[in-house]
């Protein structure tokens, strides 16, 4: 039967229910008439009908059942059917200037407006310019746009719902999928919900809310289920998604073990994390945000986001950058909205967002709005609070001098901004007793203090021992910072405000993981003289290990350990170490998947490199290192000899430095037993960190290699110096803006970051790599062409580094057309019309890795004899039923297009069934009788493998090991005479890596 789902689409929740019914009752896809019947009823009635059908048995046909139910509904209702030919994205809302009376200028019709005329966007989709032009001509409504004159009336239903408490009420609103509460529940319904939930835990309440609302109005993949809702150390994150038509829906609450300073100070329920979501047109594959997002943003800016009686206002925005997980309908740029009413009451300020920001830092002291926006992001970083009371009389915070860069005659080197250049940018000290109070493994610290300064970066290091920048020489309870670390100074005129006073830890350095090269680093090393054969040999060894991973235990362990979170809880590694043979069906399927995933990285130049690691950088506290010298503390103390040092994202020919690692006497007396750090000299006319793509010492990580082959071949180039000095634009100081102007400018910057992000960085780096590819291919030929390419590349380097700092400097960066590459090497994945087949080292790496891909043959499913034992029938029947439910739920979870959400959804499903098995989070924390757990684990094994045999798919064996893996391994171990030995994954990986490196020598 033809599938009409693409020709006549329905709303997502309706489509999801149709798919579930077809799967559960083995029905073919709906025909066109049935789809039209559902469309004519509207989304809510369609969901009601489909839920009724889902609870019934379809005797004849799914299509006929829908037609029958639709007729019955119309016969019993006087409501006029909704005319809906098919589902598409929300209507684009046109925007018109307000009338002289200041009436609402949002129109629900795409062809009309409140003033009788339509002002649509230009075809080029210039949202930002349109927004600015409109605001410039709408001075009469500015107070309304960024003020608080909009009245809001909370429904009786929501007033009733609020009695549940914020967290539970938010969950209910999340489960009704953006609908109005009064349209899905009456006051009586809500009161009954409150009565039913009075003595329920949060986990039990979630089940009740799902059954009552979520199962009807929410996709299964969006269900929010945690095994420990109230565990200590967890924070609640409340999200909101704003759509193109200005409507919004709530998402959450989500649990996280890290939270921001903003959420800690205001309490989590007073902060909304807001994303503006694009709707995608499936036919054109184009986003409609350029035309409609202005309407959504204007509506939110003008009215705020209401959750019952709570109004949330725009506070700040943060761009998560490339590392931010996102799907195709969202952006890495997130807004943070705050409940200004609660904020104002807590800090005794009027309802002014500007004053609310001053609680965290006195931003009006900054020289530009670019700095204002950038520094405000410091309050949005996820942190851990160090248990130190900075108000205590025994805590001493001191400001010590920076060490300037000096010429041979001892005079300070002055930068272009007229300020002295320094060696100690980002390096401070903390006494050993305070350092020992640091929790866990973290990476960088931010201090917020109402003393002589407001916010500063503080370097910290490995917390397994003591941070490298802790010192035994400081008096106890002492913190020392430098002026370069002070990001926002205290405003003496605002000293009467109550301000935040806390010590926030973002992270520290730790034991380095296995190091990999990148395309950019490979090209720089090759340019410096490292032969192609060096890289292709690494590739061949990596491919060889991958090829033998299906038959060799050590290679299999190496692949499993290197895959990190790709191997759930190191399941494959545990199975191999338990003595389960490599030809076991599930091991074979996972190893095949993991090796193919590694192959993808190899094609992209991600080559494993021995004797190399990433370390956090700091300044030499002894002031004894000379130019070109560093001190490196690794696993077993200080390292001596030549090393290569590089900082991502360096692309200049001279960004890879050859330095001398020197043993510094007396360093241990300062840093104690600290490990894993690289100390840079504080002598010379330029900071060594700055010479590596403009780095500093506030937590930057540096690649260090003492690989003998690399050192043998590599010849360094002159370090980077900027030759294209763009002058920063004249910017008004924040203090020169009125409150309204400030909000307008910040919101405009959000618009630019969200809808018109600069592409200069990506264009510059991609063009640089294309030019570098041609340069490497030329070799020593055609001197004129080499010179031309290098000139272009040097200009692109300056543009790229300028673009990195643009958010702080406010410089608008563009790439001149003459510098943009016309053609690109084939490994960059461009269209054939703009690609050529590269013969460079990167082209050869790509081709060789591409030729090899592990083709996993059809894997026969069989059972391990030690687990193929008889199990009580009641256990089998129970898990046959549960496994059927699991398949439906997992199918819904993997249907999510966003990889991060898909992973989270799948984890939730697995955790649900682990909870059923262990009656706890895992086997270790289970108090259930082992004999009961043992029978259930074996039942899971049989049910899973029997189904895998039935459909001849070894991947279906995964249910057994994902849910009951630890129990099955215990059963397998009990059946053998040997006792297992506990081993840390990091130690095992280190042993395997060292052994592999020795064999290659």
pLDDT at 994: 57
DSSP one-letter code for 677: E
pLDDT band at 326 (very low <50, low <70, confident <90, very high): very low
| Closest listed residue to residue 89, CA positions, set 279, 332, 357 | 279
Q: Counting beta carbons within 10 angstroms of the beta carbon of residue 852, is it exposed (0 to 12), middle (13 to 18) or buried (19 or more)?
A: middle
pLDDT in tens, 299-308: 777 788 999 9
Average pLDDT over residues 322-349: 69
Structural domain boundaries of the chain?
Answer: 12-75, 156-375, 384-505, 873-974
- Which strand (E) or helix (H) includes residue 486? strand 486-488
pLDDT in tens, 660-712: 999 999 888 888 777 889 999 999 999 999 999 888 888 889 999 999 999 99
Kindly report the number of other CB atoms within 10 A of residue 285's CB atom. 8
- Using CA atoms, how far residue 610 sits from 343, 516, 614, 704, 714, in Å, is 52, 9, 12, 11, 16
pLDDT in tens, 247-268: 889 999 998 877 888 898 888 9
Q: Which of 243-257, 434-448, 519-533, 732-746 has the highest mean pLDDT?
A: 519-533
pLDDT band at 237 (very low <50, low <70, confident <90, very high): very high
Residue by residue, DSSP assigns 52-81 as HHHTS--SS-HHHHHHHHHHHHHHT--PPP
- The torsion of the CA quartet 463, 466, 467, 470, rounded to 10 degrees, works out to 150
Among 247-251, 718-722, 806-810, which stretch is predicted with the lowest mean pLDDT?
A: 806-810
The two tokens of residue 706 are: 């003492």
- Distance between the two ends of the chain, CA-based, in angstroms? 62
The two tokens of residue 923 are: 């086997």
pLDDT in tens, 280-299: 433 333 344 444 446 667 77
Q: Which of 48-57, 454-463, 860-869 has the highest mean pLDDT?
A: 860-869
Judge whether residue 440 has pLDDT over 70. no
Judge whether residue 352 has pLDDT over 90. no
Contact 689, 629 (CB under 8 A): no
Burial call 35-50: b when 16+ CB within 10 Å, e when fewer:
bbbbbbbbbbbbbebb
The residues, any chain, with a CB within 8 Å of residue 675's CB and separated by 6 or more, are: 461, 462, 464, 465, 468, 511, 633, 634, 635
Contact 871, 935 (CB under 8 A): yes
pLDDT band at 348 (very low <50, low <70, confident <90, very high): low
Name which residue leads in pLDDT, 175 or 544. 175
pLDDT in tens, 22-57: 888 888 888 888 888 888 888 778 888 888 888 788
Instruction: Give this prediction's pTM.
Output: 0.76
DSSP one-letter code for 213: I
pLDDT in tens, 93-149: 223 333 333 333 222 333 333 333 333 333 333 333 333 333 333 322 233 344 444
| Topology, domain 384-505 | Barwin-like endoglucanases (2.40.40)
* Distance separating alpha carbons of residues 31 and 993, to the nearest angstrom: 58
Contact 67, 34 (CB under 8 A): yes
* Peptide bond connecting 253 to the previous residue in cis, omega within 30 degrees of 0: yes
* Distance separating alpha carbons of residues 773 and 821, to the nearest angstrom: 11
| Closest listed residue to residue 530, CA positions, set 542, 539, 521 | 521
The two tokens of residue 301 are: 């800016």
Q: Output the average pLDDT for the chain.
A: 80
Q: Name the 3-class secondary structure at 256.
A: strand
Query: Taking the mean position of all CA atoms in its chain, how far away is CA 605?
Result: 23
């Amino acid at each position: 039967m033809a599938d009409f789902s693409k020709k006549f689409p329905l709303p997502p929740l309706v489509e999801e229910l149709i798919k579930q019914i077809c799967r559960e009752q083995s029905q073919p896809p709906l025909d066109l008439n049935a789809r039209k019947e559902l469309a004519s009823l509207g989304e809510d009635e369609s969901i009601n009908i489909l839920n009724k059908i889902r609870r019934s048995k379809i005797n004849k046909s799914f299509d006929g059942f829908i037609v029958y139910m639709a007729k019955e509904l119309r016969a019993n209702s006087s409501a006029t059917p909704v005319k809906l030919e098919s589902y598409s994205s929300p209507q684009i809302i046109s925007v018109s200037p307000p009338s002289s009376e200041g009436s609402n200028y949002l129109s629900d019709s795409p062809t009309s407006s409140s003033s009788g005329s339509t002002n649509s966007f230009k075809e080029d989709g210039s949202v930002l310019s349109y927004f600015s032009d409109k605001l410039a001509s709408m001075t009469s409504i500015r107070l309304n746009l960024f003020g608080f004159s909009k009245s809001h009336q909370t429904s009786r239903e929501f007033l009733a719902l609020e009695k549940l408490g914020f967290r539970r009420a938010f969950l209910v609103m999340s489960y009704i999928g953006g609908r109005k509460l009064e349209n899905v529940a009456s006051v009586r319904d809500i009161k009954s919900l409150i009565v039913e939930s009075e003595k329920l835990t949060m986990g039990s309440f979630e089940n009740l809310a799902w059954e009552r609302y979520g199962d009807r109005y929410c996709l299964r993949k969006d269900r929010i289920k945690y095994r420990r809702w109230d565990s200590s150390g967890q924070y609640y994150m409340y999200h909101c998604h704003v759509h193109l038509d200005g409507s919004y829906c709530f998402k959450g609450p989500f649990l996280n073990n890290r939270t921001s300073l903003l959420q800690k100070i205001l309490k989590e329920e007073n902060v909304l994390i807001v994303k503006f979501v694009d709707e995608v047109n499936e036919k054109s594959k184009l986003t409609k945000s350029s035309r409609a997002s202005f309407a959504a943003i204007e509506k939110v800016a003008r009215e705020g986001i209401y959750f019952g009686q709570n109004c949330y206002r725009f506070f700040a925005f943060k761009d998560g950058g490339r590392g931010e997980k996102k799907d195709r309908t969202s952006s890495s740029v997130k807004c943070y909205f705050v409940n200004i009413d609660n904020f104002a009451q807590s800090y005794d300020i009027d309802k002014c967002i500007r004053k609310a920001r001053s609680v965290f830092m006195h931003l009006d002291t900054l020289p530009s709005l670019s700095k204002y926006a950038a520094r405000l992001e410091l309050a949005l970083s996820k942190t851990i609070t160090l248990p130190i009371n900075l108000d205590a009389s025994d805590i001493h915070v001191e400001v010590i001098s920076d060490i300037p860069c000096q010429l041979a005659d001892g005079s300070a080197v002055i930068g272009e901004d007229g300020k002295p250049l320094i060696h100690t940018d980002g390096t401070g000290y903390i006494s050993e007793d305070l350092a020992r109070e640091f929790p866990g493994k973290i990476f960088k610290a931010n201090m917020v203090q109402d003393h002589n300064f407001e916010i500063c970066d503080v370097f910290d290091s490995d917390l397994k021992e003591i941070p490298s920048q802790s010192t035994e020489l400081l008096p106890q309870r002492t913190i020392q910072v430098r002026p370069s670390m002070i990001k926002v100074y205290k405003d003496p005129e605002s000293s009467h405000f109550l301000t935040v006073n806390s010590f926030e830890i973002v992270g520290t350095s730790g034991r380095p993981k296995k190091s990999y090269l990148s395309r950019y680093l490979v090209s720089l090393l090759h340019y410096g003289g490292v032969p192609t054969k060096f890289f292709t040999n690494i590739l061949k060894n990596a491919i060889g290990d991958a090829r033998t991973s299906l038959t060799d235990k050590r290679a299999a362990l190496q692949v499993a350990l290197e895959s990190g979170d790709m191997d759930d809880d190191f399941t494959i590694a545990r199975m191999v170490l338990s003595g389960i043979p490599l030809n076991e069906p599930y091991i074979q399927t996972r190893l095949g998947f993991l090796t193919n995933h590694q192959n993808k990285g190899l094609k992209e130049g991600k080559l494993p490199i021995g004797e190399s690691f990433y370390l956090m950088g700091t300044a030499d506290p002894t002031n004894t290192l000379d130019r070109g010298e560093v001190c490196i503390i690794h696993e077993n103390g200080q390292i001596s000899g030549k090393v290569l040092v590089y900082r991502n994202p360096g692309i200049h020919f001279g960004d890879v430095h050859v330095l001398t690692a020197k043993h510094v006497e007396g360093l241990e007396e300062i840093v104690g037993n600290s490990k894993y750090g690289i100390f840079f000299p504080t002598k010379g006319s330029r900071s060594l960190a700055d010479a590596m793509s403009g780095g500093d010492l506030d937590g930057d990580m540096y690649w260090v290699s003492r690989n003998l082959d690399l050192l043998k071949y590599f010849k360094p180039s002159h370090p980077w110096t900027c030759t294209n000095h763009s002058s920063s634009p004249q910017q008004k100081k924040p203090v020169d803006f009125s409150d309204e102007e400030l909000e307008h400018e910040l919101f405009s910057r959000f618009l630019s970051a969200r809808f018109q992000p600069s592409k200069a960085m990506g264009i510059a780096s991609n063009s640089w790599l294309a030019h570098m590819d041609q340069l490497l291919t030329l070799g020593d030929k055609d001197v004129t062409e080499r010179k031309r390419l290098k000139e272009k590349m040097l200009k692109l380097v300056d543009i790229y580094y300028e673009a990195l700092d643009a958010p702080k400097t406010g410089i608008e960066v563009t790439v001149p057309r003459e510098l943009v590459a016309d053609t690109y090497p084939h490994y960059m994945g461009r269209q054939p019309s703009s690609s050529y087949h590269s013969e460079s080292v990167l082209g050869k790496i790509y081709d060789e890795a591409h030729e090899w891909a592990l083709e996993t043959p059809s894997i026969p499913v069989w059972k391990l004899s030690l687990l193929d034992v008889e199990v009580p029938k009641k256990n089998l029947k129970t898990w046959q039923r549960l496994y059927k439910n699991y398949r439906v739920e997992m199918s819904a979870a993997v249907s999510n297009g966003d990889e991060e959400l898909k992973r989270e959804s799948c984890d939730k499903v697995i955790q649900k069934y682990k909870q059923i098995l262990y009656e706890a989070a895992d086997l270790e924390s289970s108090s259930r009788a082992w004999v009961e757990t043992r029978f259930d684990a074996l039942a899971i094994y049989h049910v899973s493998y029997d189904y895998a045999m039935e459909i001849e798919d070894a991947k279906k064996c995964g249910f057994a090991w994902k849910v009951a893996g630890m129990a099955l391994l215990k059963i397998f171990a009990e059946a053998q005479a040997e006792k297992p030995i506990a081993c840390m994954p990091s130690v095992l990986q280190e042993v395997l890596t060292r052994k592999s490196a020795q064999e290659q020598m």
